[in-house]
Amino acid sequence: MDGYIYNWNVVWDSLPELQQGLIITLQISIVGMALAIIFGLTFAMGRMSNYGYVKKFSTGVVNFARSIPLFVLLFWIYYGLSLKFAINLTAFQAGAIALGITGGAYMAEVFRGGIEAIDLGQREAALAIGLSSSKAFTLVVLPQAIRIIVPQGVNVYVGLLKGATIVSVIGVADMIYVAQYISLNSFTPFEMYSAVGIAFISLTLSVAGLAYLLERRLNRSSANV
Amino acid sequence: MSNSQPFFDFAPIWQSRVLLIEGFGIAMFSAVAGIILAIILGLIIALMRLSRFKILRGFAFIYTQLFRGVPLYVLILWIYFGLVYAVGIDIPRIPSGIIALALLNSGYLSETFRSGILAVSNGQREAGQALGLKGWQVARYIILPQAGRIVIPPTGNQFIDAIKDSAILSIIGVPELMKVAQEQANLFYRPFEFYTVAGLLYLVAVLIVSRGITALENRFAKYSRKSGSSENSVVTTATTDASH
């Protein structure tokens, strides 16, 4: 193996394909995140419900979804569920749903944590000045909770972005898929995977940096109130 | 699908039970070995980040950023396929997977350990020294029990993530649970049944481990001034990293 000649030109030559793959990665992670927000909000509400059964059921679903590996969920949905019930999901759809379920379980905790962090007195005060229960939530509790929810939500998104890399195993043509394909033809796995790794690290770091700035901004605006 | 076959058929699972249990064992072994290495590496990196030397601090900072940012999938491919070609280091499948799990988790754990050590107030160290304890005695009897209590829940979560992540090792052919499930699902053409059972086995492992961690937390709670059982189970104190 000695005398290996590094061939970084392969990376430069395949930049257009890698860029295509990156777009797919971003698309699937964004669709997954949208599903995660819907799923998460639903089950966060469920967990905070006054009805014992709704509460127990929601808690069970969240813990269940969090204990199953994303990888297993992906295979279960794409090969198991869609074949068994002839749903015919595309690989992209199956990937987005799996990301949505895993992300949703985390988002449920983020929503709940954010809402429960708001002092109960805020809600009581809103009710005392005559707001309805739903208005007290949307006008008083939620705007304050958002400050806590948004930065943590971005962190969940960073996780989904990293998790989205595994969708290539079911044939979604994302960045990893492109890198695998090219490295098989050119025998340059080291160069290709290094490039993809660097791309991902810069992507996740910049999104996380964005979350940090956002958090600071949101905290500043709260100090001015 | 022909009509002569039952819609759900879990009999093939029973036929493949030995293979599945072996795969489960390899998955657990990989996760345990990975997390033990990650704890050792994470502690070293945490101490480097708290060091007086700028070079060590800088290295440790880059290390944490690197391994917290890279997806496990890419890291595994890079170690198993990339390194062989470029550097000629031919690491077998299982060690490759364990190394990847260790590197990835050590990035997170080093941050956990650093904040755990920093969370123990300086007055505690000073009080220990004032009582005439030696440096290692302060570390052993004063700092460690208190920092340990703080880091147990996040370290436990990391272990759970490692168990879940171990399923990804199947992509390089590690014969762990998910790999076995894939092979058997193709053999019997029963993907739904096999992936359901695989998912349930991971679920059981995660639930057992989280119970264990809660028990450990409660044992350590005696070092806490507010003694008594901890209210938060591991699942509710989990990190927000949704990549597993």
pLDDT digits (tens, 9 = 90+) for A130-188: 999 889 988 999 888 988 898 889 989 999 999 999 999 998 998 999 998 888 888 88
Q: Could you tell me what percent of chain A has a pLDDT over 90?
A: 55
Look at A176 and B73 and tell me if their CB atoms are within 8 Å.
yes
The confidence score (pLDDT) of residue B93 equals 92
- Cα-based distances in Å from B101 to A95, A114, B35, B153, B201: 23, 31, 7, 19, 20
Tell me if B4 is assigned to some domain.
Answer: no
Tell me if B6 is assigned to some domain.
Answer: no
DSSP state, A42? H
Can you give the CATH number for the domain in which B119 is found?
Answer: 1.10.3720.10
A1 touching B (Cβ < 8 Å): yes
Architecture (CATH level 2) of domain A15-224: Orthogonal Bundle (1.10)
Task: Look up the domain containing B129 and give its range.
Answer: 16-237
B11 touching A (Cβ < 8 Å): no
Average of pLDDT values for A24-46? Answer: 95
pLDDT one digit per residue (tens) for chain B, 244 residues: 445 677 778 888 888 889 999 999 999 999 999 999 999 999 999 989 988 899 999 999 999 999 988 999 999 999 998 888 777 788 899 999 999 999 999 999 999 999 888 888 888 888 998 999 988 888 888 888 888 888 988 999 999 999 999 999 999 999 999 999 999 988 888 889 999 999 999 999 999 999 999 888 888 776 665 544 444 433 334 456 777 8
Tell me if B28 is assigned to some domain.
Answer: yes
The phi and psi torsions of B193 (rounded to 5 degrees) equal -65, -45
Residues of A in contact with B168 (CB under 8 A): 69, 71, 166
Look at A66 and B74 and tell me if their CB atoms are within 8 Å.
no
Please, which pLDDT band fits residue A223 given cuts at 50, 70 and 90? low
Look at A36 and B191 and tell me if their CB atoms are within 8 Å.
no
Tell me if B216 is assigned to some domain.
Answer: yes
Please, which pLDDT band fits residue A225 given cuts at 50, 70 and 90? very low
The number of CA neighbours under 13 Å toward the Cβ of B88 is 5
* Per-residue pLDDT reduced to its tens digit, A39-76: 999 999 999 888 999 999 999 999 999 999 999 999 99
- What is the residue extent of each domain of chain A? 15-224
Look at B195 and A80 and tell me if their CB atoms are within 8 Å.
yes
B242 → closest Cβ in A106, A187, A191: A106
B175, two tokens = 């014969």
Rounded to a whole number of angstroms, the distance from the CA of B87 to the nearest CA of chain A is 7
Tell me if B243 is assigned to some domain.
Answer: no
d(CA A194, CA B81): 11
Look at B87 and A190 and tell me if their CB atoms are within 8 Å.
yes
The amino acid at B167 = A
Interface of B with A in 103-132 (CB under 8 A): none
The confidence score (pLDDT) of residue B232 equals 41
The confidence score (pLDDT) of residue A59 equals 93
Tell me if B5 is assigned to some domain.
Answer: no
Rounded to a whole number of angstroms, the distance from the CA of A126 to the nearest CA of chain B is 29
The number of CA neighbours under 13 Å toward the Cβ of A93 is 9
**Crossing angle (nearest 10°) for helices A142-163 and A15-47:** 140
Tell me if B135 is assigned to some domain.
Answer: yes
Look at A83 and B167 and tell me if their CB atoms are within 8 Å.
no
Residues of A in contact with B182 (CB under 8 A): 75
Number of structural domains found in chain B: 1
Are B151 and B220 contacting, i.e. CB atoms less than 8 angstroms apart?
no
What ipTM describes this predicted complex? 0.85
In angstroms, how far apart are the furthest CA atoms of chain B?
A: 81
A120 touching B (Cβ < 8 Å): no
A28, two tokens = 């699937």
Q: How far apart are the first and last CA of chain B?
A: 33
Tell me if B10 is assigned to some domain.
Answer: no
| Interface contacts A/B by beta carbons within 8 Å | 173
A4, two tokens = 């290996």
Q: Taking the mean position of all CA atoms in its chain, how far away is CA A97?
A: 11
B5, two tokens = 């076959």
Burial class (CB in 10 A: 0-12, 13-18, 19+), B59: middle
d(CA B68, CA B108): 6
